[in-house]
Amino acid sequence: MDITRRQALKVAAASALGAWGCLALPACSSQGTESSTASSASSDAKPRDPFKEVRESEDYSHDDALSSRVFKLSKHGKNVVVLMIDRALPFLLPFMLNEKPELAEKLAGFTFYPNKTSFGVFTNVGTPPLYGGYDYTPRKINERTGEYLYQKQNEALRVMPALFSDNGFEVTVCDPTYASYTDNPDLSIYDDYPQVKAISTMENVWDSTGSQQIAGDVLTARGFHEAFMKSYTVIDSLRTMTEIADDDTNTFMMIDNHIAHDVALLQEPDYIPMENVDNTAYEAQMGNVRTDSDGNVFSLADEISATHYQCNMAALLKLGEWFDYLRRREVFDNTRIIIVSDHSRRFEQRTDLMLGGTGEEDKLLDVEWQQAMLMCKDFGADASKLRVDESFMTNADVPAIALKDLVENPINPFTGSAIDMSGKRGGVETYASLDWDTGYNNGTTFMRGGVWFSVHDDVRKRENWTILDDERAERYWG
């Protein structure tokens, strides 16, 4: 598509926003706050997808900023990709596969790890171990009292890029999570590694500043939610961001994206953003619920559940399109891909996974909130189907998985510790803290006021969770 045509499409999409300006969906903030306010919206207009005309174009990108190649994958080398999808929900995957069996074909070659925990319920606690390994669990972070949290976050963000670049890999980092605890990622944290290419993918995309979505109810909405559209645009543009090189370069790329976090109501059954969303007919057939192959039910009767289900589905469908593109371009087989999240979301639909009492003040943790997505496709993996592995995993396993057989006996360049999975032997300690805002939780240790747990073997069994320390009475906000 030529630039003029793409710009015209952007203008048309932007003009569809009209005057819709009030945030109407829950959990649409940058990282943690939730709102349940909704304004009424008319659903009389026929839904229109502003990108439908060019969606299947091989060189299509929503935005000129993403029309150039951002990172490289080679046909004859080893490629490693870490996709950190903030708040991707692993327990929804069986329901999504049952609704759309074709999704399993797009994920063929991957191994899904449903028995996995994060180390916290928000990004500030959940991402350091994801990027850096077991040296950055909340307990380890708090032991290092001589450094600020942002310094330890930056260090974790540098672990994999430093090791890969020092071992001859071409490295690209996109949108490093909470780098320097700034609103826009501080790319200068990689200045000591000139061979590392660091970029912000969402800085100049979807330029309809301030656009919001107005929800009429759980079935209808008008307008586009800007934060969601930025993330969606990036994932939908992965094809044009990817340079396919006919050489033997080894590459590493990691990216943070909020498509499953900054949620919006989407048009079903394609799960795409539309200026007018109306799912009345589809949900009349589905009953506002989804079932898995075992008959378990996930309700979509409220906005939080519906929007999170829809946006998690959109994330995997869009990633599946990119995987198909990599297959066509013959770089799928030699690319190791890790899809991981920093935490999940509480829905409280499974009472058997609620820790603590039944009263609002007695609730300690919805275990599903601390579960996190982990799917991995290794080099030369059998691409005939999607597999399931019930091994006990944590998101601190990601660096060891990414580096396996590529860097011999990898050592954390900042701590001197071996990067492996031994840190989970006998179980792990996690910290469920509601103090997600790095604007105030930014000292040398995580603020007291959460609950420390230990968990082992199977995170889906209540008896495997133990309360170690309940600090809620000490929480700053009371």
pLDDT in tens, 413-434: 999 999 999 999 999 999 999 8
Please give the average per-residue pLDDT across 197-224, as a whole number: 86
Closest listed residue to residue 10, CA positions, set 87, 63, 53: 63
For the stretch 307-346, pLDDT in tens is 999 999 999 999 999 999 999 999 999 999 999 999 988 8
* Residue owning tokens 């330029």: 207
**Alpha-carbon span 258 to 265, nearest angstrom:** 15
Residue 355's pLDDT band, with cuts at 50, 70 and 90, is confident
pTM over 0.75: yes
Please give the average per-residue pLDDT across 213-227, as a whole number: 94
- Weakest-pLDDT range from 38-47, 454-463, 466-475: 38-47
What pLDDT score was predicted for residue 473?
77
- Weakest-pLDDT range from 172-176, 255-259, 304-308, 368-372: 368-372
**Phi and psi at residue 254, to the nearest 5°:** -130, 145
CATH architecture of 7-51+61-429: 3-Layer(aba) Sandwich (3.40)
Q: Which residues, including other chains, have CB under 8 Å from residue 333's CB and lie 6 or more apart?
A: 379, 380, 381, 383
Assess whether pLDDT exceeds 70 at residue 404. Answer: yes
Residue 57's pLDDT band, with cuts at 50, 70 and 90, is very low
Angle of helix 303-328 relative to helix 226-236, nearest 10 degrees, comes to 20
CB 131 within 8 A of CB 398: yes
Residue 55's pLDDT band, with cuts at 50, 70 and 90, is very low
Assess whether pLDDT exceeds 90 at residue 219. Answer: yes
Assess whether pLDDT exceeds 50 at residue 291. Answer: yes
What pLDDT score was predicted for residue 203?
75
- Average confidence score pLDDT of the chain: 85
Residue 235's pLDDT band, with cuts at 50, 70 and 90, is very high
CB 48 within 8 A of CB 274: yes
Assess whether pLDDT exceeds 80 at residue 54. Answer: no
What pLDDT score was predicted for residue 233?
94
Angle of helix 149-166 relative to helix 123-132, nearest 10 degrees, comes to 30
For the stretch 62-84, pLDDT in tens is 444 455 689 999 999 999 999 99
Assess whether pLDDT exceeds 60 at residue 18. Answer: no
Assess whether pLDDT exceeds 60 at residue 16. Answer: no
Greatest mean pLDDT among 3-7, 136-140, 474-478: 136-140
Please give the average per-residue pLDDT across 375-395, as a whole number: 97
Please give the average per-residue pLDDT across 374-391, as a whole number: 97
As given in the structure block, the two tokens for residue 162 are 């430093």
What pLDDT score was predicted for residue 183?
81
- Weakest-pLDDT range from 30-34, 121-125, 404-408: 30-34
What single string gives the DSSP state of each residue in 402-445? HHTTTSSS-B-TTT--B-SSGGGTT-EEEEE-S---TTTS-SSS
**Alpha-carbon span 392 to 425, nearest angstrom:** 10
Residue 247's pLDDT band, with cuts at 50, 70 and 90, is very high
Please give the average per-residue pLDDT across 451-467, as a whole number: 92
Please give the average per-residue pLDDT across 374-379, as a whole number: 98
Please give the average per-residue pLDDT across 150-161, as a whole number: 98
What pLDDT score was predicted for residue 59?
41
Assess whether pLDDT exceeds 70 at residue 372. Answer: yes
Assess whether pLDDT exceeds 80 at residue 25. Answer: no
Residue 364's pLDDT band, with cuts at 50, 70 and 90, is low
Bin 210: left if φ > 0, else alpha if -120 < ψ < 50, else beta: left
Burial of 195 (0-12, 13-18, 19+ CB in 10 A): middle
Please give the average per-residue pLDDT across 47-60, as a whole number: 41
Residue 255 or 206, more confident: 255
**Alpha-carbon span 413 to 420, nearest angstrom:** 14
Assess whether pLDDT exceeds 90 at residue 129. Answer: yes
- Weakest-pLDDT range from 95-104, 156-165, 345-354, 432-441: 345-354
